[in-house]
Amino acid sequence: MLRDALLALGGSSLARRIATDAPFSRSIARRFVAGETPQEAIEAARVLNRSGMHVSLDYLGEAVASAEEALSAAATIERVVRDVASESLDANVSVKLTQLGQDIGGAFLGRAVGQLLDAAEECGVFIRFDMESTDYTQRTLDFFEECWNAGRRGIGVVLQSYLYRTEKDVAWANALGARVRLCKGAYKEPESVAYPDKEDVDANFVRCMRALLADGNHPGIATHDEAMIRATKRFARDEDIDRDRFEFQMLYGVRRDVQQRLVAEGYHVRIYVPFGEAWYPYFMRRMAERPANLFFVVDSLVRESPLGFLRGGSRDARRRAS
């Protein structure tokens, strides 16, 4: 119920307006969002690279309604691609196709993404097509395959283990030789297309992870769930799969203790670093995904309260959210 409530708030225009106008909301969101500008995202990437982590930069935004908005987003993303290359950062770039005009039309999307991919190829920067709600799953995979068949090889895609279809999609991606980021999924979906129970989502995650590690092309195993992390390590060890053949992927500001531990253990870790003014829906999905994130926010509000005797906050809440 808490997850559903948070997702509903994430889609509420009134809640979004209140949150984005409140200075404390922006302050708290900065744990999970690098900032609103490309410069802030590039600086976050520098810091993470210095700590031994790879990066995926994401300009927040989705479901644009006009060509002008889509072209503006594409220009911002191209700027980030060129900044990554000029600074020799260890970073790739994630994009949402609805932000680049997927709902405007296939021809428009092809032109906008094609120009971006041309710039990325010129700069040697990998582009990941993010996955959105199931309204877009097949359309995204079809567009990805169209780009792949046109000779684009510096691209990858995201698959979500809470969907029934994902095992078949993993087999499809492995057959292509495409790089996949496997995650659980953060959108609210009906039981007709998605597993309603966590244990089923987790079981599908493990099945898909095993197929990707065994037959995939440098997959990204995107999870903060330590049970899933242990399952991945165990399978790689049992099947003698070298650590250079895959990477763990985690979100900026979430389970930083685990991120650092994995790097210390010699695993490749890529941090998904979002930025941009459209931070509110993303922030609410992160709260819905992991209740410990919400504990962190509540604890931060208490510690920043003008009530002096509450400013110490809760150590337990901070530990849960680390």
Task: Count CB neighbours of 56 within 10 A.
Answer: 25
Catalytic residue among 58, 130, 169, 299: 130
Active site residue 181: yes
Q: What CA–CA distance (Å, rounded) separates 309 from 45?
A: 37
Q: Is 240 helix (H, G, I), strand (E, B) or coil?
A: coil
Name the residue type at position 27. Answer: S
Q: Which two tokens stand for residue 80?
A: 């980030």
> What are 273's strand-pairing partners?
57
Give the torsion through C-alpha atoms of 289, 290, 295, 296, to 10 deg: -90
Nearest to 180 by CA among 204, 148, 212, 137: 212
Which amino acid is residue 245, in one-letter code?
A: R
Please check whether residue 308 is in contact with residue 20, taking contact to mean a CB–CB distance below 8 angstroms: no
- What are the distances in angstroms from CA 307 to CA 94, 182, 297, 317? 41, 43, 17, 18
Out of 179, 181, 255, 290, which one is annotated catalytic? Answer: 181
The C-alpha atoms of residue 297 and residue 300 are separated, in whole angstroms, by 5
What is the dihedral sign for C-alpha 162, 166, 167, 171? negative
Question: Is 17 an annotated catalytic residue?
Answer: no
Pairing of strands 155-160, 127-129: parallel
- Which structure tokens are listed for 259? 């991120």
Instruction: Tell me the catalytic residues.
Output: 130, 181
